[in-house]
Amino acid sequence: MRWLCNAERCLAELEMIERERIEKFWETVDRSGGSESCWPWLGWKDEQGRGRFRLNGQTTSAPRAALIIKDGEPEKPELHACHSCDNPECCNPAHLRWDTRNANMREMGKKGRAGIQRHPQRYKRKRRADVKYRPVKQPNAEPGIDHRTATRYSTPEEQKLAREAIHDLEQNQNRIVLIPAPRPSFDGHKIRMVESRNPDWYIRFGEKFWPDPRQFTLKRARVMKALERVVKGRVRGNGYEKDLLECLKEEDQKKRANEKRG
């Protein structure tokens, strides 16, 4: 019985402490403007203008503490105390609601309060000439999947060319060959050497875009992925697909011209 009495006494003391904390909270809030006006926080504020207060053993923002005092803890801990008045120091529960961060960001964008909307000059960056930037908007792009990146659907002819190109790359793989030793002192010995076997169209494409010969081997996987995307029906406007298809079409036209002459 003595233990129960002590527990009840402790609970009563905790409740009294919390009531005193709540009274202290409202003493630090300016409520003189009325129930419909903003109630600014009079205590210490951070760089964003929000006050800080310790409630239920945890330090939280003053608007969140005001909403907890009125409605209790939120159903989900990831919910934020969002303002409808756009005043970060306001602690009026009538101006606050529980909502997600994404919803709060969407509302901020609709009201024109996002950083890039209020201070566009801060977000301007110098464009480098050696970097291929992702296009932001392509209003005159052909009908397709994504107008922002000028992505479109591939035609059956382009898919056929891409399949043939993939077959050429798979058949012409780099291999290790044995060649005679270059020094006369090692006469009769052979050394291993990597023989690069690339299709003609791949060599012409690489000479146009890759100044370093070593990139012919390094870029093979990237070219294969681009061709596989074309086979699946997608041509990106900011990838290798567009340039590859132009090269393959030129090669196909040359083959047909040679066949007609022959």
Q: Which of 8-17, 42-51, 213-222 is the least confident region?
A: 8-17
Write the pLDDT tens digit of every residue in 199-244: 778 878 877 777 776 666 667 788 888 889 889 888 877 677 888 8
Task: Check residue 1 and give its pLDDT.
Answer: 42
User: Would you tell me how many other CB atoms lie within 10 Å of the CB of residue 166?
Assistant: 16
* Residue 169 in this model has a pLDDT that exceeds 70: yes
* Residue 151 in this model has a pLDDT that exceeds 50: yes
Percent of residues, the chain, with pLDDT higher than 70: 72
* Sequence ranges of the domains in the chain: 2-118, 152-261
Q: Please choose, from the candidates 242, 226, 238, 209, the residue with its C-alpha nearest in 3D space to the C-alpha of residue 133.
A: 238
Task: Check residue 3 and give its pLDDT.
Answer: 43
Helix (H) or strand (E) holding 195: strand 190-195
Q: Which of 68-82, 125-139, 179-193, 199-213 is the least confident region?
A: 125-139
> Which top CATH class is 2-118?
alpha beta
Task: Check residue 243 and give its pLDDT.
Answer: 84
Residues paired with residue 96 on neighbouring β-strands, in sequence order: 83
* Residue 38 in this model has a pLDDT that exceeds 80: yes
* Residue 184 in this model has a pLDDT that exceeds 80: no
* Residue 97 in this model has a pLDDT that exceeds 60: yes
Mean pLDDT value of segment 51-67: 86
Percent of residues, the chain, with pLDDT higher than 90: 0
Q: Where are the alpha helices (DSSP H) in the chain?
A: 2-27, 62-71, 101-110, 115-118, 156-171, 200-209, 215-218, 220-231, 241-261
More confident of the two residues 3 and 132:
132
Q: Supply the mean pLDDT for the chain.
A: 77
Mean pLDDT value of segment 70-78: 85
d(CA 66, CA 90): 10
pLDDT band at 128 (very low <50, low <70, confident <90, very high): low
